[in-house]
Structure formats: C-alpha cells, structure tokens
Homo-oligomer: A and B are copies of this chain.
C-alpha cells in the first residue's frame, strides 16, 4: 500500500461510496443517518457481519479489488448457507493513514463489480481512521420466505452429508502463498491462490436447498470443525469418508506430493463451500437443483445417532490434532 493523497471523509463518501448506493431507495445516497428497508411481505431478514483485518485475513500485498470482493463474499457465503437472497450491505471501513486514493478507487471498483454480480447495493455504514490495521467490516442483508431459512440445527439420523465444489483449495492456497508448496506446477498454484483469495458464494445452490436440506452451513473454519457445529446443534453424529471428499486437480496434485496434507485439507479453512445434510428421499431433488445451480455436490458421509464427527479412511478412523481454525 503506497502512501499518497487521500480525500477527506466527506469527499471520499461523495465521490467513491455514494455511487455504490445509487439506485437503492433506502440508502438515500448515503445522505442520511440510517438506511431504511421495506422487506417484501412474508419474508424474513437474514443477516451476517464479518470483519476482515489486514495481516490476519489478507495481506498488504493483496490487490484492493480482491480484498473488497473477499469482504463481501465471506458474508454472502453465509447468506447462501441460509438459502437467502442477498439484498444489500453495510460497510464499516477503518483506514490507516497509508491507504491512499488509488487504493480506495480500486477497492470501490471491486465492490462495484461484485454488487453487479450479486445484485446487491451499499446501503450505509461508516468510514473512519485508525492508528492500526486496515479493517473492513461488512454486514450483509438478505431475505428468505418466512420460516424457510436454513440453519445448522436440523440434521437427523439417516440423512446424508454433502458438500458443494471441492474442499481444501482455500487452505492450500494459503500454504502456496507462503511458499510451502514449491513443487506444484504454476497453473495449480494459480488455481489454489484464486480459490483462497476469491470465495464463490453458492447463492443459487443455497436458495435451491431451502426445503431440501435439513441443515446447512458454509465451510469457513474447515470441513471437520464446521461439521462439528452441525452435529452439535443437531444433537447427532456424522461419519464421513475421507476418500469421498471431493478434491480439485490441484489439491490432488499437492496431496500426491505430500500425503500429510490430508489433515490440512479436511480441517483447514476458507473453503466457502456449502456443507449440508439431506434425507435420502431427497437425493433426486438435490441432483436436479445442483444441476440447475451449476455447482457439483458430492455425498461424503451420513448422519447417525450419537455425537461428534468421525472421519473414516480405508475402514479406519482418523483423528486430528486440530479440528478447525480459530481466528485469534
């Protein structure tokens, strides 16, 4: 981040942030104290707040437009897991002195691109200075028909466990970034890096899963740890087969070189894929809606009576030193 000229607070809001709110009636072009949203009749509000901190969730060297997109997408991924349709977001932007206008322009361009992609608008927030690290807190707002939003609590014995997409790419991307996967081909490194930097919120799949999945969440803290959240809330246990967990070609290449990476793949964070449970009777419906959403889904295990998460590989249970990632 280069230190350079920076607009004052009001000019920054007027020139760079206001265009992001134009067209959303309740945002009043950021000219009021509060935003106001009239929800469609019969819809529940679904919301989530997540903060990204420079040095913890992204690095100073990362492109500002990608940082902006990641800040939106980690929250949109949570809306996807609830089966919600995204509507708008509020942004608290906490800026150290070394953030200059070009950085902010690129950051806002990233927000604009993802607003267009996901059909959302900025509807308010705050911008302030800090003596510390760049911090971006996003509150994403969505809606779902009353009472239909998905949660972690509904998995039942007999249900099957599914994931969308591929698992482990995000955490391997972080390793690749740190130079720990030196012998992978450049194309695999680029793929993993992109998967780490730019989550793909599974919004269409999530909305399709309403009424089909019994429980759903997005994987942000690692497959095993997050499945632990579902079984805890649902008062069940889950048994998954490590060999059924879908891996990208890049993750397969990394695993072939370093078999010990399996633990990292199953417990690392930043997948932003959906993890959900479905009654066997709904397997056909699931296949249809996954096709419609254009996202592969893979059955990786089953729900049983009991508690905890068991990972089986070639008939043996695996135990892990760590079951998830904690942002501390």
Contacts and interface: CB of A to CB of B under 8 A. Distances in A.
Number of copies: 2
A50 B133 contact: no
Interface string A176-205: 000000000000000000000000000000
B139 A90 contact: yes
Contacts of A47: 34-37, 90, 123-124, 139, 141
A149 to B, nearest CB: 5
A45 B39 contact: yes
Given A133-B130, A137-B51, A78 B33 contact: yes
Contact of A132 (B37, B90, B96, B153): B96
Contacts of A26: 44
A94 B51 CA distance: 8
A203 to B, nearest CB: 13
Contacts of A51: 92, 94, 126, 128, 135, 137
Interface string A111-125: 000000000000111
26 contacts: A8-B326, A9-B327, A9-B328, A10-B326, A31-B152, A32-B152, A32-B217, A32-B233, A33-B151, A33-B218, A34-B79, A35-B47, A35-B48, A37-B44, A39-B44, A47-B90, A47-B123, A47-B124, A49-B92, A49-B126, A49-B137, A51-B94, A53-B129, A56-B129, A56-B131, A132-B133
Interface of A: 8-10, 26, 28, 31-39, 41, 44-51, 53-57, 78-79, 81-82, 84, 90-92, 94, 96, 123-133, 135, 137, 139, 141-142, 144, 146, 149, 151-153, 217-218, 229, 232-233, 326-328
